[in-house]
């Protein structure tokens, strides 16, 4: 008998993970998915530069970054 895992977001990705992972790994996956949902990504330069902002920064530790700029580098440094 297969036990159903508790779904928090009920997304296709979560459903797939529930079939693939052990219970412990699925729970860790859920924690990471929840944490990832606390960020908004804004593309500044198509495929090159992104701003990553945390939703509700006032609810997090002061040392935790509110906005981070990411620049993607292609192979060869271009």
DSSP letter string over 15-69? HHHHHHS-HHHHHHHHHHHHHHTTEEEEEEETTTEEEEEESSGGGS-TTS-SEEE
In this prediction, residues 37-56 reach a mean pLDDT of 87
Task: Give residue limits of the domains in the chain.
Answer: 12-77
Q: How confident is the model at residue 53 (pLDDT cuts 50, 70, 90)?
A: confident
Mean predicted confidence (pLDDT) in 4-17: 81
Query: Which secondary-structure segment (H or E) carries 70?
Result: strand 67-71
More confident residue, 10 or 2: 10
61: tokens are: 């530790």
Mean pLDDT of the chain: 81
Say yes or no to pLDDT of 77 above 60.
no
Average pLDDT over residues 60-65: 66
């Amino acid at each position: 008998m297969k036990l159903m895992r508790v779904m928090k977001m009920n997304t296709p990705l979560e459903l797939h993970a529930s079939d693939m992972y052990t219970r412990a790994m699925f729970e860790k996956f859920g924690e990471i998915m929840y944490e990832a949902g606390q960020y908004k990504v804004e593309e500044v330069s198509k495929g090159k530069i992104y701003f990553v902002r945390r939703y509700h920064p006032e609810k997090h530790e002061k040392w935790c970054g509110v906005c981070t700029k990411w620049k993607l580098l292609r192979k060869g440094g271009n």
